[in-house]
Amino acid sequence: MGDGKGALEVLAMTQLANPDPSFWHGKRVLLTGHTGFKGAWLALWLQRLGAQVVGLALPPATVPSLFELAQIASSCQSHLGDIRDAAALAALVQRSQPDIVLHLAAQALVRASYRDPVSTFATNVMGTVHTLEALRTVDSVRAVVVVTTDKVYQNLEHSFPYRESDALGGHDPYSASKAASEIAIASYRASFLAERQVAVASARAGNVIGGGDWSEDRLIPDAIRAWDAGQALQIRRPQAVRPWQHVLEPLCGYLRLAEQLVAQPALAGAYNFGPQTHEAATVRDVVQLAQHTYRRGEVAWGDGSEGPHEAGWLALEVAKARTQLGVAPRWTLAQTVQRTMDWYRRCGSGTNAAAACTDDIVAFEAAAGTP
């Protein structure tokens, strides 16, 4: 019994591993999508870890943007460009000679994909292909993490979480484009990059929230805009269930995944990142938590009939990330929403955005010691 308890204690601790500064210090990292919400957070964390970051992305899509507020361009070599431009992307890869590639650039909005499916497929599929193709001509790269989405699975609306081995699919153009990019990733890994000792993995993350997101058609940004303007937040599908998580949860996973790919290239493959299954929650749950933390906010609840098709129930199985990478969710949904709304309230009162992000990163890293 004593040995068994000790093993459980060791497992509990290994579930909460932080990125290793000794690994990242001095590493040349190509980060695509660094002007976006997740990309800006990741650029800040990589800077904190001592990495040399080269960023490639379109100009920020929103005003305001975390990229501008946190002055991300001053913390990395920032290049504005389009991953659909294969020649320009390949030239940047040749110049930067990265050790690690973190590919986040994407068209990441479901409703936008209905409005412009061609651009969505061009960015998410061919942009990924261009990135992987460019890596065939350099010898520096050891690991590649391509971020896709939790929506790559053929969603059968069943009541158990999706595993990495489940069938890919996609009803809407966004989901379909990300599922197609998963097939391209697997093809490039098997056909070209594995033989060059380049370990390639895909990261499928659940619904991400956190300070600094002002994207359209996302729950928390929509809430902030509506409530700060004294308007009611319009909710289309209050009963939709999603695997909500703080932005630092999957970013920690991406960094740990890259570290492990360098140490053990055989770990290449697909990985889910999300909350524990019981923490998947409805839109209504998240909105009510946000109201409580933000201390204001009217809501107009829809009946689920408005707009194009969106999945009603989605959750991820995250055991593979826990056992192979040593990462596991560390903030509950309530903590995640509170930290998110506190970020917006603090920055709205004059706190520097980069400092607010750093405070959350420090708190997240500290939470690794309290499983």
Assign residue 59 a region (left: φ > 0; alpha: ψ between -120 and 50; beta: otherwise): beta
Q: Characterize 7-46 residue by residue with b for buried, 16 or more Cβ atoms within 10 angstroms of its Cβ, and e for exposed.
A: eeeeeeeebbbbbeeebbeebbbbbbbbbbbbbbbbbbbb
Q: What are phi and psi of 192, to 5 degrees?
A: -130, -50
pLDDT of 370 above 70: no
Distance CA 166, CA 190 (A): 19
- Distances in Å between the Cα of 61 and the Cα atoms of 37, 73, 83, 357 are 10, 15, 15, 20
DSSP label at residue 79: E
How do beta strands 281-282 and 241-242 pair? antiparallel
Query: pTM of the prediction?
Result: 0.93
Q: Characterize 54-70 residue by residue with b for buried, 16 or more Cβ atoms within 10 angstroms of its Cβ, and e for exposed.
A: bbbbbebbbeebbbbbb
Q: Where does residue 2 rank: exposed (0-12), middle (13-18), buried (19+ CB within 10 A)?
A: exposed
* List of residues 6+ apart from 299 with CB closer than 8 A: 232, 233, 235, 287, 291
pLDDT at 295: 86
Q: What does the block give as tokens for 265?
A: 């290239």
pLDDT, one tens digit per residue, over 110-137 is: 989 999 999 999 999 999 999 999 999 9
Distance CA 357, CA 361 (A): 6
Distance CA 1, CA 9 (A): 13
pLDDT, one tens digit per residue, over 175-208 is: 999 999 999 999 999 999 999 999 999 999 989 9
pLDDT of 5 above 50: no
Distance CA 144, CA 198 (A): 7
Distance CA 304, CA 307 (A): 8
Mean pLDDT of the chain: 92
Contact 157, 312 (CB under 8 A): yes
Distance CA 309, CA 85 (A): 31
pLDDT, one tens digit per residue, over 264-284 is: 999 999 999 999 888 889 999
CA 335, 340, 343, 349 torsion: positive or negative?
negative
pLDDT at 14: 46
Residue type, 90: A
Contact 261, 142 (CB under 8 A): yes
pLDDT, one tens digit per residue, over 137-180 is: 999 999 999 999 999 999 887 778 999 999 999 999 999 999 99
* List of residues 6+ apart from 354 with CB closer than 8 A: 44, 69, 70, 71
